[in-house]
Structure 1
Amino acid sequence: MIRIDAATATHQIDRRIYGQFAEHLGRCVYEGLWVGEDSPIAHHNGIRTDVIAALRHIKVPLVRWPGGCFADEYHWLKGVGDDRQPMVNTHWGGVVEPNTFGTHEYFELLNQLDAEAYINGNVGSGTVAEMHDWIEYMTLDSTAPMAELRKRHGREQPWKVEFFGVGNESWGCGGNMLPLHYANQYRQYQTYVRKYGAEPIAKIACGANSDDYEWTDVLMARAADHMDGLSLHYYTLPTGEWSVKGAATGFDDHAWHETLRQTRRMDELITRHSGIMDRYDPAKRVSLIVDEWGTWYDVEEGTNPGFLYQQNTQRDALVAAINLNIFHRHGDRVRMANIAQMVNVLQAMILTDGAAMVTTPTYHVFDLYTDHQDATFIPTARGALGADGELTVSGKDGAITLSAANTSLTTEIEAEFEFTEPVDEVLRAQLLAPAAPGDHNTFETPDAVALTDLTVSVDGRRVSFTLPPHAVATVRVRPRG
């Protein structure tokens, strides 16, 4: 029996932990989000209405854009106005990037999603002046040159930019810098991310690749006073090796367990990076932002290797649940995360093919977890559901939400909870439990993996349910009082 006491709640689970990432990569932006004003696919101002409706349903809080590696070769002036200037996307397939989706289109996307902005600036191949001008173009309400240019392009009022990333993966595709060099670059560039609006822009420094703890130490030592957040990137590879990642589908039991073992490394990474940050920032003012995470498999056969298109199975649903639970536990430091990526790339929420669209098992986990956004975290004993169980409990608006995952391939979990007050109402009880762990949705069978109702037993202060193998569930109840 797991006892739940809302009075023991510790910290808030920031809704931005459910952030998304849309890079100019493969078919994420073009075809996935943007189809243009002349497309026969249903759209509003060039953006797919079916995709927007699906993303609004899971309450997407913010979108990171334009990259990723693409950010450090992106020159924003080529993507505004009537005369867009194409470029070659050297990182992702060598295709021509038309720049028809730029700053104005991004903010239109945010407006349709009712989401916040998280923009990554170009440090790797850009200049301080270019970054300064972009901030002015987006956020300044005056007669200065860049603000006037924005108005000529059809936007009279400035936009609100909540978060701005100063470079991306500066240790790799963003410039192959050493940590001290980047720290000095960051200090210089962030100076010109000016506050023009009523609220300051939160400045995000490029953080470490996986377990590069030296990077975090140097950045915190040299630049912590100039940042609001420090990023962390970690991808789940079934083999733990980039050279042979493995397929998204058709995996065996060993690949299932290895994938989940690799994804659980996120807890150690956050713990150790947070420990370093605590030495320089004991008040936890600087957020740890996991702005790239998720599974990375071999691309689907017959697709462009540079487009990173992969299927999404119930294994990915468990990966999502495990990571979200980890972020919740560390919510006193982790205040944003951005799964890679939103549409048609890596561990996507949505896959599209022309006018067709399907949601993935990962999407359904984000749906199950929506009530944890901005809720207070209620701690439970680690392993409370046994060795195969994963659990998050949170409270909001007088209700308590339990989200549980079973990583076993064969064994059910009998989940039993006891509250401090009798339970008056079950507000939600849903389950994601396909027949096989490799089940996934296709354009021919879009609902092969879908949410179903979960049977819940309520007896006074006690709530219980059975969690099948390789399943994820959410139960939301309202206790008396």
Structure 2
Amino acid sequence: MKRIFLGMCFGMVATAGFSQQAARMELNTADAKTTISRHIYGQFSEHLGHCIYGGYWVDEKLDVPKKDRIRLDVVEALKKIRIPNLRWPGGCFADEYHWRDGIGERSKRPKMINTNWGGVTEDNSFGTHEFLELCSLLNTEPYIAGNVGSGTVEEMSKWIEYLNSDGESPMTQLRKANGRAQPWKVQFWGVGNESWGCGGNMTPEYYANEFRRYATYARNYKGAPLKKIAAGANSGDYNWTEVCMKNIPKQMLWGLSMHYYTIPTGKWNQKGSATKFDEKEYFNTMKNCMKMEELVTRHSAVMDKYDPEKKVALVVDEWGIWTDVEPGTNPGFLYQQNSLRDALIAGTTLNIFNNHADRVRMANLAQTVNVLQALVLTKDKEMVLTPTYYVFDLFKEHMDAKLLPLQLSSPDYINGSEKIPAVNASASVDAAGRIHITFVNLDAKNAITVNTTIAGHTAGKISGRILTSGKFTDVNSFEHKNKVVPTVFKSFKKNGAALSVTLPRLSLVSLELE
């Protein structure tokens, strides 16, 4: 049994006296002070495999609705879940991408080899204008990662000028010549990516100096003050965070990133299958997923030393499950199926981010289409929405709502000699006073009833939706697209301030209390 106190964080201490199938939770509407940034629900799309080419950007002859070559059924699906931002062009690709190769007449754009992902030819037909048109169609904010690894200060500075300046200059004239009169006013700007690895194999001290140099020439233009994001730590490299927070002036920083992937086996050379795994591997995957709580807590603690007012955001701009690729696919394309297990990972991770909303103010799932933990899979004319897509649909009402800190006592989910908390949750209250609670029950065997007290809220209308399926390996395939989809949920009772909710095994539940 674990007693989990969720204030602004998600911690665990042991307790006793509760049934293995019961949990308790307390909320108080008077505690709603911190805003859950909508940007926690951001997405990431890299020039990798069929995310861009064959995902968003399709052949002119493909018989699907499109604008130019942007696939509109994918756009409409993402609009329904109101994705708040989209990170591009990478990832590792960002630090070999030279933006001028991707502007102007497409037939004249130079080709290149994508050395990070499969060694395929990149024709640069999808570049700056195409990406920002995609963002416009999605009604989402662009988040661009600039090239520090193989680029120059001048190159990054002039890209920003091309995007955001409305003055008289060679870059604005070039933009206008390429068909865009008004600046786009892009604000989210990544200064490099994974500079500890594929972005240059730098030391944190060297990167901090490089950030200061690049950021100096990353100018603000009228109506577009940049939100500069430093390339932060790999997983538990707390020294990287320490050095960056110590050596980079806070006025230069909007955010500091951190990357963490859930690996089912914990081994990068043999990660595990996306669809064929037993309960032991499922449990191990969920245990590895929950490490995000420790990472966010400890990186936040380092940041607090240098930024006690929490002005600098922790930006988890790559997260999700990473498995072995599907058999028969290009290993450099990172194509994997998406199961109920992945949905439970997404829900658990988003609950963690919500509960750390005082510091985590941006995050980006890797990746949106056809790569890693994708929301959407495409095959020629067909499209399928994955279980993870529906998690973002269930959770979207938390965006820009006020966090309701929780006190949660959860039973354990036990596998062999190991155990993890079976239930996790987050809650918020929106501008209209509606309370939204998202629960996840990770237990593969037991339904769990959560007895909740909500101080400051009287009985009213309640509605709910649930995402679950018979097996944690269940997927939505092109043959069976609706195997794992949300349905109406009614297993709850409300009596005054008391709420009782029974969560089936392997389930995600979203409640709205009016």
Fold shared per TM-score above 0.5: yes
After superposition, what is the alpha-carbon deviation per residue over 1:289-327, rounded to whole angstroms, capped at 9, x for unaligned?
000000000000000000000011011011101111111
Aligned twin of 1:155: 180
Alignment partner of 1:467 is 2:493: no
**Alpha-carbon contact 1:36-1:47 (below 8 Å) kept:** no
Bigger relative contact order, structure 1 or 2, given CA contacts below 8 A and separation 6+? 2
User: Structure 1 residue 72 and structure 2 residue 106: aligned?
Assistant: no
Matched with 2:367 is 341
How high is the TM-score relative to the length of structure 2?
0.91
Which residue number corresponds to residue 438 of structure 1?
473
Give, in angstroms, the shift of residue 462 of structure 1: 3.3
Query: 2:83 pairs with 48, 60, 63, which one?
Result: 60
Note if contact 1:22-1:342 (Cα within 8 Å) is conserved in structure 2.
yes
Q: How far has the Cα of 1:5 moved from its partner?
A: 1.9
Alignment deviations for residues 239-272 of structure 1 (CA, whole Å, 9 cap, x no partner)? 1121111001110001111001001111111111
**Aligned partners of 1:112, 1:358: CA distance in 2, in Å?**
20
Corresponding residue for 1:40? 63
> How far apart in 2 are the matches of 1:421 and 1:151?
55
1:173 equivalent to 2:208? Answer no
| Cα offsets for 1:391-443 (capped at 9, x unmatched) | 111110210001001000000011233333322212x3100011111100100
Aligned residues: 477
What TM-score, normalized to structure 1? 0.97
Structure 2: distance between partners of 1:292 and 1:246: 20
* 2-structure distance, mates of 1:101, 1:199: 24
Task: Report the alpha carbon displacement of residue 213 of structure 1 after superposing the two structures with TM.
Answer: 1.1
Which of 294, 317, 325 is the aligned partner of 1:268?
294
Please give the residue correspondences for 1:438-457 in structure 2 after superposition, counting only pairs within 5 Å. Answer: 438-455=473-490, 456-457=492-493
Aligned to 2:10: none
Further displaced range: 439-448 or 459-468: 459-468
Tell me the SS of whatever aligns to 2:501. Answer: strand
Q: Report the alpha carbon displacement of residue 38 of structure 1 after superposing the two structures with TM.
A: 4.7
Q: Is the 8 A contact 1:39 1:46 kept in 2?
A: no
Aligned position for 1:142: 167
Which AA in structure 2 matches 1:165?
Answer: G
* 2:327 paired with 1:301: yes
Q: Aligned partners of 1:200 and 1:383: how far apart in 2? A: 43
Unaligned runs of at least 5 residues, structure 1: none
1:70-469 equivalences in 2 (<5 Å): 70-82=93-105, 83-225=108-250, 226-384=252-410, 387-396=421-430, 397-419=432-454, 420-426=456-462, 428-455=463-490, 456-469=492-505
Q: Equivalent of 1:30, from 53, 58, 62?
A: 53
Letter in 2 for 1:454: F
Query: CA 1:224/1:320 → structure 2, altered by over 3 Å: closer, same or farther?
Result: farther
Instruction: Answer yes or no: is the 8 Å Cα contact 1:368–1:430 preserved in 2.
Output: yes
State the identity as a percent.
Answer: 50
Give the deviation of 1:457 after TM superposition. 2.9
In structure 1, what is the Cα distance between the partners aligned to 2:309 and 2:27? 28
Q: Structure 1 residues 366, 165: closer, same or farther in 2, change over 3 A?
A: same
Give 1:190 shift.
0.8
Q: CA deviation at 1:36?
A: 4.9
Give the 3-state SS of the residue equivalent to 2:347 in structure 1.
Answer: helix
Q: In terms of mean alpha carbon deviation, does 161-170 or 380-389 score higher?
A: 380-389
The answer to whether the 8 Å contact 1:383/1:390 transfers is no
Please give the alpha-carbon distance, in whole angstroms, between the structure 2 residues aligned to 1:199 and 1:70: 25
- Contact persistence 1:236–1:295 (CA under 8 A): yes
Contact 2:25 2:408 in 1 (8 A): no
Distance apart, 1:385 and its partner CA: 6.8
Which range moves more in the overlay, 352-361 or 4-13? 4-13
Assess, with a 3 A threshold, how the Cα gap between structure 1 residues 35 and 29 changes in structure 2: closer, same or farther.
Answer: same
* Cα RMSD (Å): 1.3
Matched position secondary structure for 1:436: coil
* Aligned-residue offset at 1:382: 3.7
* Pairwise CA distance, 1:464: 2.8
User: Are the counterparts in 2 of residues 385 and 415 from structure 1 also a CA contact under 8 Å?
Assistant: no
Partners of 1:36 and 1:45 within 8 A in 2: no
Inter-partner Cα distance in structure 1 for 2:111 and 2:406: 53
